[in-house]
Amino acid sequence: MLSVLAEALDEVEIPATAPGLREAFAIRDRFNAKLAAAVAEFDRAGGWEADGAASATGWLRHHASVSGREAQSLTRRSRRLTQLPVLAQAWSSGQVSGGQVDAVVAQLNDRNIDLFASQEAELVPTFIGLSVAQTGIAMQAWRQYADALDHSDEPEQPPSRFDAAPILDGRTEVSGSLDTLDGETLLTALRVAQRPDLEGEPERTPAQRRADALVDICRFFLDHQHTVLTDRRRPHLNITIDITGLDNGEGACCLDGALIARSDLKQLLCEANLHRVLVDGPSAILDYGTSRRLVSVAQYNALGVRDRGCRFPGCDRPAHWCDAHHVVPWWPDKGPTRLDNLVHPECVPSPG
């Protein structure tokens, strides 16, 4: 079946006209609806386990070659649609778009999903012909109605969440949603931490001032906290660079592999502490054979530089979330404690 679709795609030429593009996007949307249904069934059946993935989201990142954010969105949307057959059918038939589906799902949670499911036969037809923005406004109104029907003593706010993830250009993208008190705490801290532009410095936008303030807050915490001090969990920014690259400022990267620009590296080295991490050679013991089971600090650091995070298929946990495991078990198979028999799996609790 899919081979027929692939062959048909080879023969299709999409007209670069308004009607042609509208039709092409509508067809793509219907295909995405069928894809979402397949992802939901794949997730429910645990098909991702056959490839050794830790979750459907991890499988999508690794095997479907999508970003972490897109994988999370696909999984979340697919799971919700299994509870909303009328909305799923409307999407599959082209009556509503994927953007409208996202606008609906964004207003649903575990507290109100059953109410919406009981009303979707009446609600979904009203979305036909609306834009994504109009659907979002309609769903916001429905959300207020649903909250008003919540007879608990106090409507429960969704828990605060904050996501920070590297994106394809090497930058880090942040997003999140905080409850009232957490949000006020953040906004107050950002206001206090913002500094005026220095003389001779390019004028910054308000968003740039907030970003600088957030980084200053994080740096202040790292400079003054005294809780996480072990060799394995250094609290500051860690970058790696080959000793031969120090002179020309090339080859520096974060532990996850993101490259550091030469100008940024020059600034960091002004106040940095340098620690050597040996990955070979006689100056540090990196091979204990079978005489020792536990991994040494030198081995752990060398392993972090080599693996840059969890090696489990589809997992993107960074090195500082990982522990070191033997590929061939130390007991009872007498696997040696040396780098070529060690690997980073994600097996320690992730922060938050």
Tens of pLDDT, residues 15-45:
999 999 999 999 999 999 999 999 999 999 9
DSSP codes joined into one string, 70-88: HHHHHHHHHHHHTT-HHHH
Identify the bridge partners of residue 172 per DSSP, sorted by sequence position.
166
Chain centroid offset of residue 77 CA = 16
pLDDT of residue 234: 46
Of 40, 41, 31, 29, residue with least CA distance to 6? 31
- The whole-angstrom distance between residue 336's C-alpha and the CA centroid of its chain comes to 35
**pLDDT of 51 above 70:** yes
| Gap between the Cα atoms of 98 and 104, Å rounded | 10
Whole-number Å distance between alpha carbons of 222 and 200 = 29
Q: How far apart are CA 24 and CA 7, in angstroms?
A: 17
Is the pLDDT at 240 greater than 80? The verdict is no
Taking only the tens place, the pLDDT of each residue in 188-210 is 889 889 988 888 878 889 899 99
Phi, psi of 172 (to 5 degrees): -115, 130
Per the listing, tokens 């995070």 go with: 309
d(CA 231, CA 297): 7
CA nearest to 215, candidates 264, 255, 261 = 264
Measured over the CA atoms of residue 108, residue 112, residue 113 and residue 116, the dihedral's sign is negative
pLDDT grade for 102, boundaries at 50, 70 and 90: very high
Q: Which segment of 63-72, 89-98, 126-135, 330-339 scores lowest on mean pLDDT?
A: 330-339
Per-residue pLDDT tens for 145-192? Answer: 888 887 665 555 678 888 887 776 778 888 888 877 688 788 888 988
Q: What tokens does 219 get? A: 């740096």
pLDDT over 90, % of the chain: 26
pLDDT for 338: 82
Give the residue, 160 or 267, on which the prediction is more confident: 160
DSSP for 223-274, written as a single string: HH--S--SGGG-SS--EE--GGGTTTT-S-EETTSPBPPHHHHHHHHHSPPP
Contact 56, 39 (CB under 8 A): yes
